[in-house]
């Protein structure tokens, strides 16, 4: 959600910034812009639409060694050229890009900027105008930025250039991700490491309410009060090639097919020298000592959390509850005496999850984050972290992170207490193998997508028990990338209202991997068929019937929904492809949702 790139050094910045912004495209955006400082002049170019559109408009003759760039996902003001970033102060001395939301924008306009003529409808412009106002009143630039920060309430990551200073790039952060990258003779800034990984793998984490002064040789970090912070950079273990599509047409396809590898990678990361499961005893002790696990997550990660609850309750006999992060904060359930809060989040930056983390930490509760991004905010701020080892997930639609979350949750539950004696590693190896065989059936999924999903307006996934959770995820995948209105339903709930929506040729896809509900779900299929639905069945081999459309090889019942994720991800992929949708960057969506 919005992306920032900044560079100061010896090379011409335009390409560095544009390529960095392209690496952040996956986060979601609707306009983009760039500012280059050259000969004490600032060149700004910004456009609605894609970075490719921005490229067309950039004046190639402008060169400079200091610049900032931005991809905007509109919150305040429509996505148009004027509201795109960078924004400039009235005299054009300061140029700024911003991620986040300023909550007291209106109050600041009235209190400090009643005489200012604003150019845009954005909250961001208030920040750059405030900096200029304080400088005009006689403050040094650094102080003016820190004073501005202290008046802002809300979230921000800022990159700022001053046209009177060719040697400094300024930055600030609060509740929105920002990293500084250390180079040889240059330094960088970006919303995440992927935008900088082609140039450096040495990064500084930036804490909330910190201010940065960056020159080509140095990165200085200060608190909002001006005290210098001494922090060592860390080395990121991302490989630049992990962020490339390779031979695949879309990142989503690449990431679907990486899932068997991800399961095997997780097993190797969480095993000891003898090949047995291994997780830090501190984490296990904290979970064993709690009386209930509260899993907090959003979207796909929430769906993984629903499966995780089953693992904790069925494998470890530990009570667990799963709560949507944005709901928890306004409607907190009764909390038990010794809870443990588990945050499941691919990005580790989701603002709704972070709000809960801050709250439960204030209440003194233990916290654990499961995330794919080392050094992310939720990882840094929780008591413990377990990494997902899925590698960078670029497509907005989450696929391999979902599989990684479920895999780590299964290992964790079995390590906490394996009451049912399940051999999780053996079962996961089987799932990885089944996934590989399922990936070979691409053509079949494409044909089914063509037959069922090409023309339809809506679609339903139905399932019971563990399959119901899979249906929720399958429905989210299909709707977010193909724009077909899709719902996942507990099959037994259909006749309590939703069956009214079934008409001739409505696609209803049933998932049946659990033996005890096989016949029940099959009778629900008959009910919808009798009302004209076009039904498709995805089943497990041991309970499959002749006419079932997709049959998944047998696996342990607790883990079988994990194998069945492959066909539903492909159905979504091909439906979107056939309907001409932008698969990796679906409309209105952002990969990393950093505003509440
Ligand atoms: O980074 P997170 O896992 O916290 O993100 C939560 C959701 O925004 C995310 O899972 C979203 O639902 C998926 N990208 C959808 O495919």
Q: What is the pLDDT of residues 562-589, one digit of tens each?
A: 999 999 999 999 999 999 999 998 888 8
- pLDDT, mean of residues 240-254: 85
Q: pLDDT at residue 341 above 80?
A: yes
> pLDDT at position 7, please?
98
| Edge-to-edge strand list for the sheet holding 485-490 | 485-490, 458-463, 507-512, 534-540, 550-552
Task: For residues 457 and 507, give the distance between their C-alpha atoms in angstroms, rounded to a whole number.
Answer: 9
Contact 397 CB / ligand 1 (< 6 Å): yes
- Ligand 1 atom nearest to CA at 405: 3
Contact 396 CB / ligand 1 (< 6 Å): yes
Which residue in 254, 479, 585, 591 is the catalytic one? 591
Contact 372 CB / ligand 1 (< 6 Å): no
Tokens of 343: 């945050």
Contact 480 CB / ligand 1 (< 6 Å): yes
Task: For residues 289 and 292, give the distance between their C-alpha atoms in angstroms, rounded to a whole number.
Answer: 9
Q: Are the CB atoms for 472 and 509 separated by under 8 Å?
A: no
- Sequence-distant (6+) residues with CB within 8 A of 227 are none
| 543 phi and psi angles, rounded to 5 deg | -120, 15
- pTM score, whole prediction: 0.81
- pLDDT, mean of residues 223-235: 94
> pLDDT at position 593, please?
77
Among protein residues, the one with the nearest Cα to ligand 1's atom 10 is 300
Helix (H, G, I), strand (E, B) or coil at 491: helix
Tokens of 298: 């959003």
- Sequence-distant (6+) residues with CB within 8 A of 457 are 484, 485
Task: For residues 462 and 479, give the distance between their C-alpha atoms in angstroms, rounded to a whole number.
Answer: 15
Contact 345 CB / ligand 1 (< 6 Å): yes
Residue 272 CB neighbours (<10 A): 9
Q: pLDDT at residue 293 above 90?
A: yes
Query: Positive or negative, the Cα torsion across 350, 355, 359, 361?
Result: positive
- Per the annotation, the verdict on 439 as an active-site residue is no
Q: pLDDT at residue 245 above 90?
A: no
424 CB-contact burial (10 Å; exposed 0-12 / middle 13-18 / buried 19+): buried
Task: For residues 542 and 544, give the distance between their C-alpha atoms in angstroms, rounded to a whole number.
Answer: 6
Best probe residue, ligand 1, of 300, 357, 399, 482 (max atoms within 8 Å of C-beta): 300
Contact 399 CB / ligand 1 (< 6 Å): no
- Ligand 1 atom nearest to CA at 401: 3
Tokens of 146: 């820190």
Measure 475 CA to ligand 1 centroid, in angstroms.
Answer: 14
User: How confident is the model over 41-67, as pLDDT tens digits?
Assistant: 999 999 998 899 999 999 999 999 999
Contact 300 CB / ligand 1 (< 6 Å): yes
Confidence of residue 251 (pLDDT cuts 50, 70, 90): very high
- Ligand 1 atom nearest to CA at 299: 12
- pLDDT, mean of residues 70-74: 87
Measure 375 CA to ligand 1 centroid, in angstroms.
Answer: 18
Measure 398 CA to ligand 1 centroid, in angstroms.
Answer: 6
Tokens of 154: 């809300």
Q: pLDDT at residue 288 above 90?
A: yes
Q: Domains of the chain by range and CATH?
A: 3-241 (3.60.20.10), 245-440 (3.40.50.10490), 442-583 (3.40.50.10490)
Of 79-83, 136-140, 460-464, 493-497, minimum mean pLDDT range: 79-83
- pLDDT, mean of residues 107-116: 94
Measure 340 CA to ligand 1 centroid, in angstroms.
Answer: 22
Best probe residue, ligand 1, of 252, 348, 350, 483 (max atoms within 8 Å of C-beta): 350
What is the total residue count of the chain?
596
Contact 346 CB / ligand 1 (< 6 Å): yes
189: β partners: 6, 180
Measure 346 CA to ligand 1 centroid, in angstroms.
Answer: 7
User: How confident is the model over 161-215, as pLDDT tens digits?
Assistant: 999 999 999 999 998 889 999 999 999 999 988 899 999 999 999 999 999 999 9
Higher model confidence: residue 497 or residue 129?
129
Give the rounded percent of residues in the chain with a pLDDT score beyond 70.
99
Contact 407 CB / ligand 1 (< 6 Å): no
Q: Are the CB atoms for 160 and 169 separated by under 8 Å?
A: yes
Measure 590 CA to ligand 1 centroid, in angstroms.
Answer: 9
Measure 477 CA to ligand 1 centroid, in angstroms.
Answer: 11
Task: For residues 564 and 520, give the distance between their C-alpha atoms in angstroms, rounded to a whole number.
Answer: 19
Task: For residues 97 and 29, give the distance between their C-alpha atoms in angstroms, rounded to a whole number.
Answer: 14
User: How confident is the model over 356-411, as pLDDT tens digits?
Assistant: 999 999 999 999 999 999 888 999 999 999 999 999 999 999 999 999 999 999 99
Contact 377 CB / ligand 1 (< 6 Å): no
341: β partners: 294, 367
Task: For residues 479 and 483, give the distance between their C-alpha atoms in angstroms, rounded to a whole number.
Answer: 5
Measure 13 CA to ligand 1 centroid, in angstroms.
Answer: 32
Contact 298 CB / ligand 1 (< 6 Å): yes
CA angle 586, 589, 594 (to 5 degrees): 150
Measure 28 CA to ligand 1 centroid, in angstroms.
Answer: 12
Task: For residues 415 and 492, give the distance between their C-alpha atoms in angstroms, rounded to a whole number.
Answer: 34
- Ligand 1 atom nearest to CA at 398: 16
> pLDDT at position 591, please?
78
| Edge-to-edge strand list for the sheet holding 228-229 | 87-88, 94-99, 156-162, 169-174, 210-214, 219-223, 228-229
Alpha helices in 273-350 (DSSP H): 281-289, 299-314, 325-328
Helix axes 466-482, 565-578, angle to 10 degrees: 20
Contact 301 CB / ligand 1 (< 6 Å): yes
Residue 538 CB neighbours (<10 A): 27
Q: Which of 185, 68, 154 is nearest to 595 (CA)?
A: 154
Which residue in 2, 459, 471, 581 is the catalytic one? 2
Task: For residues 131 and 455, give the distance between their C-alpha atoms in angstroms, rounded to a whole number.
Answer: 53
Task: For residues 239 and 217, give the distance between their C-alpha atoms in angstroms, rounded to a whole number.
Answer: 24
Contact 595 CB / ligand 1 (< 6 Å): no
Measure 591 CA to ligand 1 centroid, in angstroms.
Answer: 7
| 329 phi and psi angles, rounded to 5 deg | -65, -30
Of 69-78, 137-146, 345-354, 441-450, minimum mean pLDDT range: 69-78
> pLDDT at position 82, please?
85
DSSP code per residue over 182-217: E-SS-EEEESSGGGTTTT-SEEEE--TTEEEEE-SS
Best probe residue, ligand 1, of 296, 326, 346 (max atoms within 8 Å of C-beta): 346
User: How confident is the model over 115-165, as pLDDT tens digits?
Assistant: 999 998 889 999 999 999 999 999 999 999 999 999 999 999 999 999 999
- Per the annotation, the verdict on 60 as an active-site residue is no
DSSP code per residue over 377-396: HHHHHSSEEEE-------SS
Among protein residues, the one with the nearest Cα to ligand 1's atom 4 is 345
Q: Is the peptide bond before 86 cis (omega within 30 degrees of 0)?
A: yes
> pLDDT at position 1, please?
66
Q: Are the CB atoms for 19 and 198 separated by under 8 Å?
A: yes
Task: For residues 440 and 429, give the distance between their C-alpha atoms in angstroms, rounded to a whole number.
Answer: 18
CA angle 471, 570, 431 (to 5 degrees): 70
Q: 């089944």: which residue's tokens?
A: 434
> pLDDT at position 520, please?
95
Q: Are the CB atoms for 156 and 98 separated by under 8 Å?
A: yes
Give the distance from CA 58 to its chain's centroid: 30
From first CA to last CA, the distance across the chain in angstroms is 11
Helix (H, G, I), strand (E, B) or coil at 222: strand
Q: Left if phi > 0, otherwise alpha if psi is -120 to 50, otherwise beta: which for 506? A: beta
Task: For residues 193 and 373, give the distance between their C-alpha atoms in angstroms, rounded to a whole number.
Answer: 10
DSSP code per residue over 63-124: --SEEEEEEE--SSS-SSTTTSSPEE-TTS-EEEEEES-BTTHHHHHHHH-TT---SSS-SH
Tokens of 558: 């607790």
Among protein residues, the one with the nearest Cα to ligand 1's atom 16 is 397
- Ligand 1 atom nearest to CA at 593: 8
Measure 267 CA to ligand 1 centroid, in angstroms.
Answer: 23
Best probe residue, ligand 1, of 27, 192, 298, 327 (max atoms within 8 Å of C-beta): 298
């Amino acid at each position: 959600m919005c992306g920032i790139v900044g560079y100061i050094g010896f090379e011409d910045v335009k390409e560095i910034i544009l390529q960095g912004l392209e690496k952040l495209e996956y986060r979601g955006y609707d306009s983009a812009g760039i500012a280059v400082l050259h000969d004490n002049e600032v060149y700004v170019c910004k456009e609605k639409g894609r970075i490719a559109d921005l490229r067309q408009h950039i004046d190639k003759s402008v060169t400079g060694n200091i610049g900032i760039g931005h991809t905007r996902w509109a919150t305040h003001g429509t996505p148009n050229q004027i509201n795109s970033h960078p924004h400039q102060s009235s005299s054009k001395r300061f140029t700024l890009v911003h991620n986040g939301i300023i909550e007291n924008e209106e109050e600041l306009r009235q209190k400090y900027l009643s005489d200012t003529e604003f150019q845009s409808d954005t909250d961001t412009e208030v920040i750059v105008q405030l900096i200029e106002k304080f400088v005009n009143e006689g403050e040094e630039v650094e102080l003016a930025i820190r004073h501005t920060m202290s008046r802002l309430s809300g979230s921000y990551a800022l990159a700022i250039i001053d046209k009177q200073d060719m040697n400094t790039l300024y930055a600030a952060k609060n509740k929105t991700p920002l990293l500084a990258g250390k180079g040889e003779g240059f330094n960088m800034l970006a919303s995440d490491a992927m935008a900088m990984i082609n140039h450096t793998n040495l990064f500084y984490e930036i804490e909330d309410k910190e201010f940065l002064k960056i020159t080509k040789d140095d990165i200085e970090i200060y608190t909002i009060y001006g005290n210098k912070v001494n922090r060592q950079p860390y080395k990121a273990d991302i490989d630049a090639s992990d962020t490339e599509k390779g031979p695949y047409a879309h990142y989503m396809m690449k990431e679907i097919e990486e899932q068997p590898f991800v399961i095997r990678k997780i097993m190797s990361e969480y095993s000891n020298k003898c090949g047995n499961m291994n997780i830090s005893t501190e984490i296990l002790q904290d979970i064993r000592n709690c009386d209930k696990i509260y899993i907090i997550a959003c979207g796909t990660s929430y769906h993984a959390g629903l499966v995780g609850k089953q693992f904790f309750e069925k494998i470890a006999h530990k009570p667990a509850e799963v709560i949507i992060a944005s709901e928890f904060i306004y409607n907190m359930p009764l909390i038990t005496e010794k809870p443990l809060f588990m945050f499941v989040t691919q990005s580790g930056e989701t603002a709704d999850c972070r709000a809960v983390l801050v709250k439960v930490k204030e209440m003194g509760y233990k916290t654990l984050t499961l995330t794919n991004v080392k050094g992310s905010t939720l990882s840094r701020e929780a008591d413990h972290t377990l990494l997902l080892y899925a590698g960078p997930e670029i497509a907005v639609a989450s696929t391999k992170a979902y599989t990684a979350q479920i895999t780590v949750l299964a290992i964790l539950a079995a390590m906490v207490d394996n009451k049912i004696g399940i051999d999780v590693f053996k079962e996961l190896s089987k799932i990885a193998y089944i996934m590989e065989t399922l990936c070979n059936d691409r053509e079949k999924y494409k044909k089914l997508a063509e037959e069922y999903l090409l023309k339809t307006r809506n679609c339903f996934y139905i399932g019971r028990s563990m399959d119901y959770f899979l249906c929720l995820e399958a429905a989210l995948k299909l709707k977010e990338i193909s724009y077909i209105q899709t719902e996942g339903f507990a099959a037994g709930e259909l006749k309590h209202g939703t069956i009214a929506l079934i008409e001739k040729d409505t696609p209803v896809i049933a998932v049946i991997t659990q033996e005890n509900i096989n016949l029940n779900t099959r009778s629900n299929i008959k009910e919808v068929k009798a009302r004209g639905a076009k039904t498709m069945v995805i089943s497990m081999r041991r309970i499959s019937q002749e006419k079932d459309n997709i049959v998944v090889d047998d696996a342990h019942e607790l883990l079988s929904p994990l194998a069945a994720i492959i066909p539903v991800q492909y159905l979504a992929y091909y439906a979107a492809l056939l309907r001409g949708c932008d698969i990796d960057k679906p409309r209105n969506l952002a990969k990393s949702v950093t505003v509440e």
